[in-house]
Amino acid sequence: MPEIDRPWLTHYDQNVPSSPHLAVKPVFELLDEAASRWPDRPAIVFQNTSITYAKLRKLSSLVAANLRKHGLKRGDRVAIMLPNTPQTVIAYWGVLRAGGTVVFTNPLYMETEIVHQFKDSGARFLITIDILWNKIEPLRAQLGIEKYFVTSIADALRFPLSMLYKLRAWREGQNSKVPFDSETVHTWSSLLGGMSTYTVEGIIPGKDLALLQYTGGTTGLAKGCMITHASLCANALQCTAMLPGMGENRELFLGVLPYFHIYGLTVCLNLCTALGATQIPFPRYMPGDVLKTIHKERPTVFPGAPSVYISLLQQKNVGSYDLSSIRFCVSGSAPMPVEWFEQFKTATGASICEGYGLSEASPVTHINPVQGVAKHGSIGLPVPGTDAKIVDMDLGGPPLPPGKLGELAVRGPQVMAGYFNKPDETADVLRNGWLYTGDIAYMDEDGYFFIVDRKKDLIISAGYNIYPREIDEVLHAHPKVQEAVAVGIPCDARGEVVKVFVVAKPGEKPTKAEIIAFCRQKLAAYKVPRHVEFRESLPKTMVGKVLRRALRAEEAERTKACSAAPVVDTTSSDA
């Protein structure tokens, strides 16, 4: 490959290799190696359940064997629609070991999102949880799923918690009546039955797909990023190389980030396994539960997002918990505000290591040094084995000099093979070995990269990617809406939240509550607008295209003006 300047190499921490050995192998061999080296070490701790690495390998082998008995063939897609539970981890490794391709599905998805992803991926099987069955059941005729495997939180617990959970669900009327028939709808236990185990042979790591990771598109329809075994393996090992000191001791990971998100999958699951670490899955993020777990279990690694760290610091009783066990915090999705960054360091003693990635790159491409200079506001340095450059936003081409704004492009072994069944969109972003990210950035003289804006109109809220066009389309279906456009506006706790600008049809007067309620019926909760503004018209180009960027600029000016406004004394007796 043509040489480019790599000033970042001189700013790596000591012992970070500039050219690491990134073994090309099936990704499930990360689990095999951990089970061989640390067979009795807990891989998962969940409530009153502990699963060792040896047992996890055995369970994943049973799942693989049973999936094959059910007709799974090499390369078949299997959707996993689960919160963070031990079953999620077992199913992930089991599908890979069976030779299948994992299609992680967000449990928060609504009807149109679920139908599109399952039909687009061609998933044959679905592994899900009983509390989601009421969402799945009405869609079965549209999904193309041949067999369903349904688990429960109780399946992850030992006695007596398993019985107590079932009893509580019954008392609260939360029992989902799943129509198990052992033909189309099967129990989770059916995937763990028998004595036969299975591990596929002949995987070609650089060619065979391990994962179809769905990410939004400018049209509002999600695209499946084709991630190979080699890419997932490489990215886990790149993270290991960039974080010296992690793994020297026995690490305990907090599994707060959702595994169905590529960031959570790579950092909380693949990286954790590569280190032989123990993970604590959280099916649902509750700040109080996380604080209690940190205080009691003494975790050492806490991957998260700014919204997660900030929400913990906002808890009134945060000072009563001992958070000092945390040694590594890896943050992505959005910059961490300086004041919160310092508060978190004071509370834990650990600095938050900020980075950057995208689904198309498995996802990590940049991380700030752990021991060296971490520049606030920077996404850091390219991880070992990764090249990055800033190019002209319209023409691409050779790298621009330091300090110049342009589009960020990256290349490395973690980059996807392309978008599933979308050659034209693949050609738009993969050019001459480079992945064009669509993010506007610059590199400084030291090789640190800074994201300035988004070439695409992506909104990132609490770590979730939201494409505004999808929200636009939902709003245009509202009977009282003539025009609508969504933008992301700054939010200290979530990075950004969705605001929509709405033009009503003549004679109609929709309310904010109506707009939000309509969106709740059509969109996942994190995509639902938090703010609604009604206008007579929207700013447009000469050809009638709405100027989304202009609306964002207006919001930025409004925020700036509010911040600069003097404090008004409202305690007057005239009030």
Dihedral sign for Cα 326, 331, 334, 335, please. Answer: positive
Asked if 463 contacts 333 with a C-beta cutoff of 8 angstroms, the reply is: yes
Cα distance between residue 153 and residue 86, in whole Å: 9
**For the chain, what is the largest distance between any 2 Cα atoms, rounded to a whole number of angstroms?**
81
Helices (H), 98-173: 111-121, 133-136, 140-143, 161-171
Look at residue 565 and tell me whether its pLDDT is greater than 60. no
Provide the b/e sequence for 135-146 (b: ≥16 CB within 10 Å).
bbeeeeeebebe
Q: Mind listing the pLDDT tens digit for each residue in 291-309?
A: 999 999 999 999 998 888 9
Asked if 330 contacts 243 with a C-beta cutoff of 8 angstroms, the reply is: yes
Asked if 57 contacts 15 with a C-beta cutoff of 8 angstroms, the reply is: no
Query: Model pTM?
Result: 0.84
Using left for φ > 0, alpha for ψ between -120 and 50, and beta otherwise, residue 221 falls in: beta
- The string of DSSP letters for 281-339 reads E-SS--HHHHHHHHHHH--SB--B-HHHHHHHHTSTTGGGS--TT--BEEE-SSPPPHH
Average pLDDT over residues 347-372: 93
Question: Where does the pLDDT of residue 167 fall: very low under 50, low under 70, confident under 90, or very high at 90 and above?
Answer: confident
- Which domains does the chain possess? 28-204 (3.40.50.980), 385-454 (2.30.38.10), 459-562 (3.30.300.30)
Q: Mind listing the pLDDT tens digit for each residue in 411-456?
A: 999 999 999 999 999 999 999 999 999 988 999 999 999 988 666 6
The pair of three-digit structure tokens given for residue 251, joined into one six-digit string: 């690490």
Asked if 381 contacts 367 with a C-beta cutoff of 8 angstroms, the reply is: yes
Asked if 8 contacts 367 with a C-beta cutoff of 8 angstroms, the reply is: no
Instruction: Share the mean pLDDT of the chain.
Output: 91
- E-strand spans in 4-74? 42-46, 49-52
Question: Where does the pLDDT of residue 571 fall: very low under 50, low under 70, confident under 90, or very high at 90 and above?
Answer: very low
Question: Where does the pLDDT of residue 564 fall: very low under 50, low under 70, confident under 90, or very high at 90 and above?
Answer: low
